[in-house]
């Protein structure tokens, strides 16, 4: 109780909690590593929420999720693609944990209409998406916002999604929809939310962002929307997997709390709101933010008991052996040249598609498939996302431009053997998360198969790649047109390899697509391995960095920075 309150005054304390980018981490097991004990998870978050509700009372705790929950672990994939008859596990969990509102994320859309429409229909709380708009009538596909009332305090929650989906996902997954600019939509709904509520909350599946990149895509626009659209008291962020707990001032001087709990259920974002209700009915507010780590909490016994059957089903699915691998594969070599890990993906893509050239990147920062039996769980390590496989037409000149763009974001220009090979952020050794030490995400580091080439890291950006021939030794022709296999994220403009690198307008990408799988690439890999029964992945040796003596010396230093 605040000092000096009059007898008629009262104080209300509300706790607003956010989970985001859980990526299927429902249980305290790492199914990607064969079901061993894992960290984070909604099972541990359930323990925290249960305790807080017991301490503060149900009316004082509000729970939100910020999307990207239907992808990342076999526990989500199983209920997306295999067991489609039961209530979706994620809907069952949201209902059990009594979430108050949820925003849809881009990886939820990636699951496709049948999956996310089923999931949305089975969730008992409002599923929000103010900037997800129907193309047939211009109306929101989901409710734009909800007004919740607790102890006489009204909280408006506006849900939005990052608008970059058409650049990352094939249209079949979001047919009939468009994704509008977040700032424009926030301005549209702010007046009516302010008229209805005491507190306005943004629940944005979008990161805090980088101001200089805001105008180009507005992928991570949460901070800019909070600043440019006055009226928000709290903005819960997501999408970029980067923790945030800070206050910024909007354009009229008002304070906005920004919170992001990062990913995989390791933390909960918490906004404590203290409301003083004066005897004349007016209210004053104090807001404080926190990120609560849950890794040390025991999983909720009630939660685990309730979902035991579903957990056992997922374990059985992920433990299935689909084939045998004669040697181990790891991600690390892929950063420094041809690797068994990436070249296995290349080989699969070429075989499945019949294409001339394949492009692929290490989708997992640091993963291993051990020698021996290959389980379903291993394929999630190998290929993290539910991408389809495309075949697109590219000229030889465009293939070269594609690779020049990829290596420009992957390696720096070396002046001697004392330099780093990889492109790191400034002072990388000071950054605790190893994957964040790289200036650009590892899933942008596309190499190629089907051609032989060198990458001269002593040359400036744009002049590094020399394509020597096709893989079979026949000439490579810059004026010829080649059938190129690549995942749907890249084929729709993700990473900007085709748009910025090659120079193909976004509107023309679809016209380049010759063929597409109808299921995700992992599914086809699983089927092929079942057919082969045994695989012996080896580096294809089709490309290399030069000068080789510089690269080898730099590699030793760079491996240490990557945690090896």
The CATH number assigned to the domain holding 172 equals 3.60.21.10
pLDDT-derived band at 308 (thresholds 50, 70, 90) equals: very high
pLDDT-derived band at 200 (thresholds 50, 70, 90) equals: very high
Question: In sequence order, which ranges of 439-520 are alpha helices (DSSP H)?
Answer: 488-491, 509-512
Neighbours of 48 (CB within 10 A): 18
pLDDT for residue 211: 53
Structural domain contains residue 186: yes
User: Is 421 exposed, middle or buried (CB count within 10 Å of its CB: 0-12, 13-18, 19+)?
Assistant: buried
Residue 321 has pLDDT above 90, yes or no: yes
Domain end residue (candidates: 281, 315, 349)? 315
Full strand arrangement of the beta sheet holding 199-205: 145-150, 153-161, 199-205, 234-236, 255-260, 244-249
pLDDT for residue 7: 42
Same domain, 540 and 459: yes
The CATH number assigned to the domain holding 546 equals 3.90.780.10
Q: How far apart are CA 526 and CA 196, in angstroms?
A: 52
Same domain, 327 and 437: yes
Question: Between 28 and 280, where is the model more confident?
Answer: 28
Same domain, 132 and 162: yes
Structural domain contains residue 475: yes
pLDDT-derived band at 397 (thresholds 50, 70, 90) equals: very high
Same domain, 427 and 455: yes
Determine contact, residues 113/173, Cβ cutoff 8 Å. yes
Same domain, 307 and 358: no
pLDDT for residue 213: 52
Residue 6 has pLDDT above 70, yes or no: no
Determine contact, residues 93/307, Cβ cutoff 8 Å. yes
Structural domain contains residue 5: no
Residue 519 has pLDDT above 60, yes or no: yes
Full strand arrangement of the beta sheet holding 357-360: 447-449, 357-360, 481-487, 389-395, 513-516
Number of structural domains (the chain) is 2
β 132-134/177-179 pair status:
antiparallel
Same domain, 233 and 326: no
Torsion angles phi and psi, residue 396, rounded to 5: -60, -40
Torsion angles phi and psi, residue 9, rounded to 5: -80, 155
- Mean pLDDT (the chain, rounded): 93
436-450 confidence digits (pLDDT tens): 999 999 999 999 999
Domain end residue (candidates: 315, 347, 378)? 315
What is the mean predicted confidence (pLDDT) over 476-485?
A: 98
Domain end residue (candidates: 315, 341, 362)? 315
DSSP letter string, 280-300 = TS-EEEEEEEEEEE-TTSPPP
Strand partners, 373: 324
Residue 167 has pLDDT above 80, yes or no: yes
Host domain of residue 543: 320-561
Torsion angles phi and psi, residue 468, rounded to 5: -90, -40
Structural domain contains residue 2: no
Same domain, 263 and 367: no
Same domain, 42 and 161: yes
Same domain, 295 and 356: no
Determine contact, residues 199/145, Cβ cutoff 8 Å. no
Structural domain contains residue 3: no
| 465 contact partners, CB below 8 Å, separation of at least 6 | 400, 403, 404, 407, 453, 454, 455
CA atoms within 13 A on the CB side of 197: 24
Find tokens 């650009």 and name the residue. 440
Same domain, 245 and 391: no
What is the mean predicted confidence (pLDDT) over 392-419?
A: 98
Lowest mean pLDDT among 111-120, 223-232, 380-389: 380-389
Question: Between 205 and 73, where is the model more confident?
Answer: 205
Structural domain contains residue 131: yes
Listed residue (373, 365, 397, 425) closest to 484, CA to CA: 397
Lowest mean pLDDT among 176-185, 277-286, 504-513: 277-286
Structural domain contains residue 37: yes
pLDDT for residue 362: 94
Question: In sequence order, which ranges of 173-321 are alpha helices (DSSP H)?
Answer: 182-196, 222-228, 301-306, 308-318
Structural domain contains residue 4: no
Residue 214 has pLDDT above 70, yes or no: no
pTM: 0.83
Determine contact, residues 165/197, Cβ cutoff 8 Å. no
111-123 confidence digits (pLDDT tens): 999 999 999 999 9
pLDDT for residue 369: 85
Residue 4 has pLDDT above 90, yes or no: no
Q: How far apart are CA 309 and CA 319, in angstroms?
A: 16
186-197 confidence digits (pLDDT tens): 999 999 999 999
Same domain, 307 and 346: no
Same domain, 324 and 307: no
């Amino acid at each position: 109780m605040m000092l000096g309150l009059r007898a008629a005054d009262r104080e209300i304390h509300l706790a607003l909690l956010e989970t985001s980018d859980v990526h299927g981490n429902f249980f305290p097991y790492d199914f990607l590593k064969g079901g061993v004990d894992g960290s984070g998870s909604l099972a541990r978050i359930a323990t925290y929420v249960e305790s807080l509700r017991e301490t503060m009372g149900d009316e004082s705790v509000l729970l939100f999720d910020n999307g990207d929950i239907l992808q990342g672990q076999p526990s989500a994939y199983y209920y997306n693609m295999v067991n489609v008859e039961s209530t979706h596990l994620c809907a069952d969990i949201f209902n059990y944990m009594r979430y108050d509102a949820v925003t849809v994320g881009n990886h939820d859309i990636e699951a496709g209409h049948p999956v996310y429409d089923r999931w949305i229909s089975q969730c008992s709380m409002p599923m929000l998406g103010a900037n997800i708009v129907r193309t047939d009538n211009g109306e929101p596909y989901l409710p734009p916002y909800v007004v919740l009332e607790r102890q006489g305090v009204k909280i408006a929650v506006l849900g939005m999604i990052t608008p970059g989906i058409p650049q990352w996902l094939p249209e079949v997954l979001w047919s009939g929809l468009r994704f509008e600019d977040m700032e424009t939509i926030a301005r549209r709904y702010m007046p009516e939310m302010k008229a209805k509520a005491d507190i306005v909350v943004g629940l944005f599946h979008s990161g805090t962002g980088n101001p200089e990149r805001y105008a180009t895509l507005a992928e991570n626009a949460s901070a800019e929307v909070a600043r440019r659209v006055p009226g928000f008291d709290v903005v819960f962020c997501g999408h970029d997997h980067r923790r945030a707990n800070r206050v910024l001032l909007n354009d009229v001087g008002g304070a906005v709390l920004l919170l992001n709990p990062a990913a995989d259920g390791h933390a909960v974002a918490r906004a404590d709101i203290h409301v003083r209700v004066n005897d004349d009915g007016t209210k004053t507010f104090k807001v404080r933010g926190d990120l609560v780590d849950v890794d040390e909490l025991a999983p909720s016994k009630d939660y685990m008991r309730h979902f035991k059957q579903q957990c056992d089903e997922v374990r059985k699915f992920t433990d299935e052996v689909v084939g045998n691998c004669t040697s181990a594969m790891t991600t690390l070599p892929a950063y420094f040249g041809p690797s068994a890990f990436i070249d296995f993906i290349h080989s699969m893509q070429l075989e499945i598609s019949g294409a001339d050239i394949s492009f692929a990147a290490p989708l997992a920062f640091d993963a291993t498939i051990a020698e021996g039996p290959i389980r379903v769980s291993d394929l999630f390590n190998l290929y993290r996302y539910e991408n389809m496989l495309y075949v697109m037409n590219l000229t030889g000149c465009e293939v070269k431009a594609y690779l020049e763009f990829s290596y420009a974001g992957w390696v720096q220009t070396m002046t001697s053997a004392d330099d780093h090979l990889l492109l790191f952020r400034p002072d990388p050794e000071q950054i605790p998360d190893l994957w964040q030490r790289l200036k650009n995400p590892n899933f942008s580091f596309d190499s190629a198969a089907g051609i032989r080439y060198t990458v001269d890291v002593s040359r400036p950006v744009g002049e590094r790649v020399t394509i020597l021939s096709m893989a079979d030794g026949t000439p490579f022709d810059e004026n010829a047109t080649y059938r190129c296999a690549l995942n749907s994220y890249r084929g729709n403009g993700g990473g900007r390899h085709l748009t910025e690198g090659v120079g193909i307008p976004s509107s023309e990408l679809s016209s380049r697509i010759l063929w597409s799988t109808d299921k995700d690439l992992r599914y086809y890999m699983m089927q092929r391995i079942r057919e082969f029964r045994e695989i012996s992945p080896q580096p294809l040796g089709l490309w290399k960095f030069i000068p080789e003596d510089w690269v080898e010396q730099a590699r030793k230093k760079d491996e240490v920075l990557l945690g090896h």
